[in-house]
Amino acid sequence: MEVGAVASMQFVKGAIRAAKLVSEYTQHTLLVGNRASTFALSMGLPGPTNLSSPESLEKWAKWKQNNCEPNFRKNVIPVNGCGPYRPVIGVSDLQKNYYACDNKETIDRGSILANANTGSEHISRHNHDTISMAVIDKLGHIAVGTSTNGATFKIPGRVGDGPIAGSSAYADQEAGACGATGDGDVMMRFLPCYQVVESMRQGMTPKDAAVDAISRIKRKYPDFVGALFALNVQGVHSGACHGWTFQYSVRSEGMEDVEVYTVHPEDN
């Protein structure tokens, strides 16, 4: 139950190290924004650092040229290509064939509904960078951590499931650990890693616990994309996924190298 997290942090490369500092040197659980960056720098992490790469700047420039599409907004109308965005007033307006902005522009119903998406289509193995890791030491202590750059084209200020305890990661040395990745905006509503660890505490195998947690999400959101791994205190591990083929790696005492395990959605 020692937890540290940071979110919306800029200028500091070692986000997961910053999260550990929150756990070790504060009584808080979560620090966010530039104040989190200030804390990390004051505790000795290197920076401030420009975290933009030529690839990310090129992607951003092309996105701006495409009127900031795709994005994660819904039920809104952009006054210009990249905003500002204004809400569609009332549910009934979605049933109309047009919506008149203050500038009297007319936008058809198809354009409105095009903005009303869940965001899942932006999440895939090709644009994800989440790393979640669980470790058991020789004394049986368990630690888990997750680090991510977040969803591509996210709305500024968005916090995903990465820093939310019980969502992208959770551990209890009486039961085991879990790490998750995918459509964090959906998955965090279910705290899937907390669910996995509690299921193992109640006697479920890692496989059954992982499948159960994914099944709970896909019953409500059949189009979501995500995956998780489960690890019990004996070192038995498994994974489950939905919407993509998921791979996770394992290395334990006596192994000469990492072994990669592949999980298919149909395995659930």
Positions marked catalytic: 130
DSSP 3-state assignment of 25? helix
Enumerate the β-bridge partners of residue 32. Answer: 7
* Residue at token pair 């395995």: 267
Q: Where are the alpha helices (DSSP H) in the chain?
A: 15-25, 33-42, 54-65, 109-114, 184-187, 192-201, 206-220
199-235 exposure pattern, b = at least 16 Cβ within 10 A, e = fewer = bbeeebebbbbbbbbbeebbeebeebbbbbbbbbbee
Give CA–CA dist 229/241, Å, rounded.
9
Distance CA 12, CA 51 (A): 8
DSSP assignment letter at 121: G
